[in-house]
Amino acid sequence: EVQVVESGGGLVQPGGSLRLSCVASGFTISTYWMSWVRQAPGKGLEWVANIKQDGSEKYYVDSVKGRFTISRDSAKNSLYLQMNSLRLEDTAVYYCVREGRYMDYWGQGTLVTVSS
Amino acid sequence: QSALTQPASMSGSPGQSITISCSGTNSDIGSYNYVSWYQQYPGKAPKLMIYDVNKRPSGVSNRFSGSKSGNTASLTISGLQAEDEADYYCCSYAGSSSWVFGGGTKLTVL
């Protein structure tokens, strides 16, 4: 069974850092693009970043460029999102998603709250 | 990267059909046939309902269908059922390996 499970969310002050993790099972992440998608409380979905199968290409939404870094560890079948210089507007549930021509498998999400 | 435009809310009675629109631009919907739709219940993860404009994943009811014309995509739900009450999001490939979502439509089954 295909599954992705996120962890690492929590409460952080503005300007702080947090690292999200996502462990995949039932498939090998090195054969798929992987994405992070977020959803602010009561708001819609927003694509945040993605990474190519071999990690050679990474793309970000403009609002997180220079602050967030997506990475993967094939040996651990895991995806990561390093978030630095966090802002109030980064508060959201962050989903780890398997990506193809569409996003077919989503984790349950991990909540990141940026607040003083 | 501007969000795709969806109606904020729609409603319908059981048995009726409804169509949710998703308006984009020549840079996203108008240029690619990589439009997908997601259903989301409160507190739950989104679920893929339609991909590649009009294809249904295995297990999704054939009451759900998708289409596209120009810069606008649509999701039609026929024979509305109470369980269809949820939020629906469209998504399109936007080039340069990026994606854009719609703002979401809250569907109420009266």
**Burial, B97: exposed, middle or buried (Cβ in 10 Å; 0-12, 13-18, 19+)?**
middle
What pLDDT was estimated at residue A46? 97
Q: Chain B closest CA to A45's CA: distance in Å?
A: 6
Task: Flag whether residue A57 sits within 8 Å of chain B, measured between CB atoms.
Answer: yes
Task: Give SS3 for A31.
Answer: helix
Contact between B73 and B35 under an 8 Å Cβ cutoff? The reply is: yes
Give the span between the Cα atoms of A19 and A36, in whole angstroms.
12
* Best CA proximity match to A18, nearest among A104, A103, A107, A87: A87
Mean pLDDT of A54-80: 96
| Tokens linked to A57 | 């290409």
Give the span between the Cα atoms of B81 and A64, in whole angstroms.
39
What pLDDT was estimated at residue B44? 96
Give the span between the Cα atoms of A58 and B17, in whole angstroms.
41
What pLDDT was estimated at residue B48? 97
pLDDT in tens, A3-22: 999 999 999 999 999 999 99
Residue in chain B closest to A6 (alpha carbons) equals: B45
CB contact under 8 A, B101 and A107: no
Split at pLDDT 50, 70, 90, the class of A86 is very high
Q: Count of CB atoms within 10 A of residue B80's CB?
A: 20
Please say if the pLDDT value at position A89 is more than 90. yes
Q: Which residue has the tokens 């602050």?
A: A67
Task: Flag whether residue B89 sits within 8 Å of chain A, measured between CB atoms.
Answer: yes
Contact between A98 and A32 under an 8 Å Cβ cutoff? The reply is: yes
What pLDDT was estimated at residue B2? 85
Mean pLDDT of A70-76: 96
Measuring CA to CA, how many Å separate B73 from each of A45, A57, B49, B105, B106?
17, 29, 14, 13, 17
Give the span between the Cα atoms of A33 and B97, in whole angstroms.
10
Q: Which residue has the tokens 């240029």?
A: B31
Probe site for chain A from B33, B44, B47, B98 (most A CB atoms < 10 A): B98
Contact between B37 and B52 under an 8 Å Cβ cutoff? The reply is: no
* Best CA proximity match to A95, nearest among A32, A41, A25, A45: A45
Listed as ranges, residues in chain B with pLDDT below 50 are none
